[in-house]
Amino acid sequence: MWRRCAQRKNLRLCLTVAFVLLALQACLSAPQTRQLQAHAPARLVSSVLLDDVAFFPQDEFQCGPAALATILSASQLNVTPDELVSQVYIPARRGSLQIEMLATARRYGRLPYVLPGTLDTLLIEVAAGQPVLVMQNLGLSRWPQWHYAVVVGFDLVDNTITLRSGLRRNYVMPLAVFERTWARAEHWSVVMLQPGQVPVDADETAYFQTLADFELSQGGESALAGWQAGLQRWPDSMLMTMGLSNQLYAQGKLQEAADVLMAFLTLDARSAVVHNNLAWLMFELGMPEKAMNHARQAAALNAAYTQTPVELHSKISNGK
Q: What is the pLDDT confidence band of residue 165, given thresholds at 50, 70 and 90?
A: very high
pLDDT of 183: 94
User: What pLDDT was estimated at residue 3?
Assistant: 45
User: What pLDDT, on a 0 to 100 scale, did the predictor assign at position 142?
Assistant: 72
CA 101-204-198 angle, to 5 degrees, is: 60
Higher-scoring residue by pLDDT: 91, 176: 176
For position 301, what pLDDT does the model report? Answer: 97
Position 149 pLDDT exceeds 90? yes
pLDDT of residue 92: 45
For the segment 93-121, the average pLDDT, to the nearest whole number, is 87
Q: Is the pLDDT of residue 1 over 50?
A: no
Instruction: List, for residues 13-61, the tens digit of each pLDDT value.
Output: 555 555 555 454 544 579 999 999 988 888 899 999 999 999 999 866 6
Residues 269, 272, 278: CA angle, nearest 5 degrees: 80
- Nearest alpha-carbon partner for 213 in 256, 251, 243: 243
Residues β-bridged to residue 193: 111
Question: What pLDDT shows up at residue 60?
Answer: 62
Mean pLDDT over the full length of the chain:
88
C-beta neighbour count of 52 within 10 angstroms: 10
pLDDT beyond 80 at 8: no
Q: What percent of the chain has pLDDT over 90?
A: 72
pLDDT above 90: residue 139: no
Please give the pLDDT value at position 212.
94
CB-based contacts of 101, cutoff 8 Å, min separation 6: 64, 68, 88, 112, 133, 148, 190
Whether pLDDT at 264 is above 90: yes
Q: What is the pLDDT of residue 136?
A: 94
In whole angstroms, give the CA distance from residue 191 to residue 9.
29
Phi, psi of 179 (to 5 degrees): -60, -40
pLDDT of residue 253: 96
pLDDT digits (tens, 9 = 90+) for 203-216: 999 999 999 999 99
Would you place residue 223 in the very low, low, confident or very high pLDDT band (cuts 50, 70, 90)? Answer: very high
All residues at 6 or more sequence positions from 286 whose CB lies less than 8 Å from its CB, including other chains: none
Distance CA 227, CA 247 (A): 8
* Band of pLDDT at residue 127, cut at 50, 70 and 90: very high
- Contacts for 80 with CB less than 8 Å, ≥ 6 apart: 56, 69
Top pLDDT among 223 and 7 is at 223
Tell me: pLDDT of 320 over 80.
no
- Please state the pTM of the whole predicted model: 0.86
pLDDT at 171: 96
| Cα–Cα distance, 213 to 207 (Å, whole number) | 10
| Position 62 pLDDT exceeds 60 | yes
Q: Which domains does the chain have, with CATH numbers?
A: 2-193 (3.90.70.10), 204-318 (1.25.40.10)
The answer to whether 115 and 167 are in contact (CB under 8 A) is: no
pLDDT of residue 144: 74
Confidence check: pLDDT of 2 > 60: no
